[in-house]
């Protein structure tokens, strides 16, 4: 599998807000960890249905969200990849967000089994 190509396609799908295309990359037993939450890992969602619902909130909360200046780093032997990006978007209330972040992806048999997201805290 070409992990770099998968990361590029995932970024394109996120920028298109195409949840079906995004979720086609994920395994049924996938895990998503989002930066915000009350645990050291943020918020954790397990299983394709819960992960899809959690990712949908990104498009609901920031309807114009985009991931720009994407860079992808791959360790094919370990079946892992990192996507680094600049997230921009505007909330429904008009608050503008611009923040650097990255996603750590783990793959198994060509599917994402873990997506662990991080971003800078802008105050």
Domain boundaries, the chain: 3-119
Average pLDDT over residues 34-38: 93
pLDDT tens for residues 82-109? 999 999 999 999 999 999 999 999 999 9
The SS3 of residue 41 is: coil
User: What kind of architecture, by CATH, is found in domain 3-119?
Assistant: Roll (3.10)
Q: How confident is the model at residue 72 (pLDDT cuts 50, 70, 90)?
A: very high
Question: Mapped to the 3 state alphabet, what secondary structure does 11-26 carry?
Answer: HHHHHCCCHHHHHCCE
Query: What pLDDT, on a 0 to 100 scale, did the predictor assign at position 45?
Result: 98
Query: What pLDDT, on a 0 to 100 scale, did the predictor assign at position 101?
Result: 97
Helices within 1-123 (DSSP H only): 3-15, 19-23, 48-61
Question: What separation, in Å, do the N-terminal and C-terminal C-alpha atoms of the chain show?
Answer: 40
Global pTM value: 0.93
């Amino acid at each position: 599998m070409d992990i770099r190509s998968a990361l590029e396609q995932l970024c394109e799908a996120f920028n298109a807000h195409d949840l079906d295309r995004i979720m086609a990359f994920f395994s049924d037993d996938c895990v998503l960890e989002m930066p915000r939450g009350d645990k050291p890992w943020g918020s954790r969602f397990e299983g394709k249905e819960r992960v899809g619902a959690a990712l949908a909130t990104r498009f609901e909360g920031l309807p114009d969200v985009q991931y720009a200046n994407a860079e992808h780093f791959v360790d094919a032997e370990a079946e892992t990849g990192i996507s680094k990006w600049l997230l921009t978007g505007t909330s429904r209330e008009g608050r503008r967000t611009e923040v650097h972040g990255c996603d750590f992806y783990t793959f198994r048999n060509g599917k994402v089994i873990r997506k662990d997201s991080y971003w800078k805290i802008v105050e």
